[in-house]
Structure 1
Amino acid sequence: SFALTMIDTDARDFVHWMLADIPASTTSIERGASDEVRAAGGKGTLSSEYDGKYFGPCPPGPDHHYVFTVYALDAPLDLEPGFTLDDLRDSLEGHILAQGSLTGLRSGPV
């Protein structure tokens, strides 16, 4: 399976999106698919805005770094709905086969 995180590292690891147990057969996530991915077998969680959906970047001021990380796992994770970033990090331990990250930069209103 796969897990995916989107974290704003300039805002104390503000969670914009997390998914776990994405089926291994998944090769892409379509735009606007936060609910559908969970329905297809993945588990979503609350963002730092307490919403179970993707929360796009909207920094209040200077540049913020948004880190998207995908983890390839050797097994599904035993996480309950509403899991936290710490829960995910603990569950990933010993199960990561590979991982990759992409960092995006976004500025707030000028």
Structure 2
Amino acid sequence: MLDRPRAPWPYDFLPKVGEFPVVSNDVRDGELLSDNHTFAGDNLSPQLSWSGFPAETRSFTLTCFDPDAPTGSGFWHWAVANLPVSTTSLERGAALPDGAVALRNDMGNHKYDGAAPPAGDYPHRYAFAVHAVDVDALDVDESASCAVLGFNLAFHTLARGVVTPVYQIQA
């Protein structure tokens, strides 16, 4: 499995936007996810918080994407649209605020499903991204695919913050 090239970073191919910090008590850039946040473990979303986003922000969208999944299109672990602008953090195992829309992830669920790379594959990156959006609500509902969400975000993202832990299952 290790003979395939590393996937490109997905945000390199989208319109350039501003950045802001996303921090967590649970995950950090380049560090290994704990079992709390893996599919075979506790399967809990990590605590996340963000600040420093543009004043024009009217809502947020949160995604967790694994670009390294051996699918040709990556793997969506979590997608939540239309988080109210007053929401600047989510606790571990978060209950979503009113108005937020959880889309179907690539496991078929409308919730966070944690890391589950193939055993023996190199460490996969899990991009937890918070997108500052210029509208109160994107035109998506829970039936929208994550690709449709991404298409909408391409036209409405003011800035983005990303924290990217990794995870690997030894063969």
Question: Among residues 89, 97, 101, which one is paired with 2:162 in the alignment?
Answer: 101
Question: Among residues 3, 7, 15, which one is paired with 2:76 in the alignment?
Answer: 15
Structure 2 CA distance, aligned partners of 1:81 and 1:56?
A: 19
Is the 2:82–2:138 contact (alpha carbons within 8 Å) kept by the matching residues of 1? yes
Question: Among residues 24, 31, 40, which one is paired with 2:92 in the alignment?
Answer: 31
The 5-angstrom pairing of residues 24-103 of structure 1 reads 24-33=85-94, 36-37=95-96, 39-61=97-119, 62=121, 63-75=123-135, 76-103=137-164
Is the 2:103–2:146 contact (alpha carbons within 8 Å) kept by the matching residues of 1? no
Tell me the TM-score normalised to structure 1 length: 0.89
Q: Percent identity at matched positions?
A: 38
Q: Give 2:60's aligned residue.
A: 2
Structure 1 CA distance, aligned partners of 2:88 and 2:141?
A: 24
Q: CA deviation at 1:93?
A: 2.8
Is the 1:44–1:82 contact (alpha carbons within 8 Å) kept by the matching residues of 2? no
Runs of 5+ in structure 2 lacking a partner?
1-58
Q: CA deviation at 1:68?
A: 1.1
AA aligned to 1:70 is: V
Structure 2 CA distance, aligned partners of 1:107 and 1:19?
A: 25
What whole-Å deviation, never above 9, does each CA across 1:41-77 have from its counterpart, x for those lacking one?
Answer: 1000111110111001121222111111110011010
Q: CA deviation at 1:94?
A: 2.5
AA aligned to 1:43 is: V
Runs of 5+ in structure 1 lacking a partner?
none
What whole-Å deviation, never above 9, does each CA across 1:9-39 have from its counterpart, x for those lacking one?
Answer: 1113211000000000001111112xx31x5
AA aligned to 1:53 is: K
Is the 1:2–1:24 contact (alpha carbons within 8 Å) kept by the matching residues of 2? yes
Structure 2 CA distance, aligned partners of 1:85 and 1:13?
A: 11
Structure 1 CA distance, aligned partners of 2:116 and 2:154?
A: 31
Comparing both structures, which one devotes a greater share of its residues to strand?
A: 1
